[in-house]
Amino acid sequence: MSPTPKPGILDIEAYVGGRAAIPGVAKVYKLSSNESPLGPSPKAVEALTAAAHDLHLYPDGSSRLMREAIAEVYGLDPARIIASGEGSDALLTMLAAAYLQPGDEALFSEHAFLVYKIATLANSGKPVVVGEKNLRVDVDAMLAAVTPRTRLVYIANPNNPTGTYITHEEMRRLHAGLPKSTLLVIDAAYSEYVRKNDYEAGIEMVSRFDNVVMTRTFSKIYGLAALRIGWAYAPAAVCDVLNRIRGPFNTGTIQQHVAAAAIRDRAHTEKAATHNAEWLGWLTAEIRKLGLSVTDSVGNFILIRFPAGAKNAAEADRFLSSRGVILRAVGSYGLPDCLRMTVGTEEENRLTVSLLKEFMGG
């Protein structure tokens, strides 16, 4: 008899990322993983090169350099920042490991990031999937689903793959309805792209309440997906817990130096946000002209809904792939009639719209 894993693990469907290649197609345009079309800051690249000479030395186990850079930019206490060398995914999973006991519940919305369910099941918790309203988190439905066993509530804001968000007022209302023993986890991976006056990434709430955590990533607007760097801002007591269970050297020297340089280069970040705002609006308008439904996204991607029949999402995916354009099928998110498209370069955006027009017979 082979060793038996703890309950929940064998119920996990392994996460499958966006495709990066197409068999038989040499030139591809990868718009499946919400990567930055501008790439990283030149200052971040310089920092990577400069840090390479210390590869034989263990990194600073506290990630002090990186945490202090984040704190400087956002005006935070560095002692309340937790760094991760495996993206924000690792932090979301660490929170489940720290706060879920067998049978405890974690709530999240029906089209939310798949890692929430994986993290919950991996820690023998019970995933509670709550229906959305018009592809948005339904605060009333979330509150109605809370029970005495609810320990975590994961909210992706903005949400991937829908691109929708809930306002600061709605987030506050959600938090106000939760027991003090329940941890509200705000996954703000795409927050730097949002240009809405009624949005707040989570910093204000973490500063005020003892049961709110915000996670962030360097994989999106900072263009550092290959380095898998994430961070969390949390109450002191939660930081104490996470520092006890994280790896002793959970970020590398190169990760720390590159992240610090990237977050301090505000001009590059603003350039990436401006590029996204321009092309997000253009893509939304142009694709809607083709008769397709597109969500009002505030992230760096759009969700395109296709009709049933010959022009469905699966056929569109095959058509685009045969011509080198890779979008993200999102059937695993409960959206089989949709494809998610990352905002790309001007060339990638115009090419994709042209191909969609050809596919739709325009």
pTM for the whole thing? 0.95
Q: Tokens 């340089």 map to which residue?
A: 261
Confidence band for 156, pLDDT divided at 50, 70 and 90: very high
pLDDT the model gives residue 26: 77
Average pLDDT of every residue of the chain:
96
Confidence band for 328, pLDDT divided at 50, 70 and 90: very high
pLDDT higher than threshold 80 for residue 3:
yes
Angle, helix 236-245 to helix 87-99, in steps of 10 degrees? 100
**Contact present, 330 and 339 (Cβ < 8 Å):** yes
pLDDT the model gives residue 93: 97
pLDDT tens readout for residues 27-55 = 899 999 999 999 999 999 999 999 988 89
* Alpha-carbon gap, residue 84 to 232, rounded angstroms: 8
Domain limits of the chain?
A: 9-39+267-359, 46-265
Share of the chain above pLDDT 70, in %: 100
Share of the chain above pLDDT 90, in %: 90
pLDDT the model gives residue 309: 87
pLDDT higher than threshold 80 for residue 1:
no
Q: How many CB atoms lie within 10 A of CB 227?
A: 21
9-39+267-359 CATH choice from 3.30.750.200, 3.10.20.30, 3.30.530.20, 3.90.1150.10: 3.90.1150.10
pLDDT the model gives residue 362: 63
Mean pLDDT within 328-333: 96
pLDDT higher than threshold 80 for residue 348:
yes
Confidence band for 21, pLDDT divided at 50, 70 and 90: confident
* Alpha-carbon gap, residue 206 to 233, rounded angstroms: 7
Mean pLDDT within 282-303: 98
Mean pLDDT within 141-159: 98
pLDDT tens readout for residues 54-112 = 899 999 999 999 999 999 999 999 999 999 999 999 999 999 999 999 999 999 999 99
46-265 CATH choice from 3.40.630.70, 3.20.20.140, 3.40.50.620, 3.40.640.10: 3.40.640.10
* Six-digit token string for 326: 């890779």
**Contact present, 254 and 85 (Cβ < 8 Å):** no
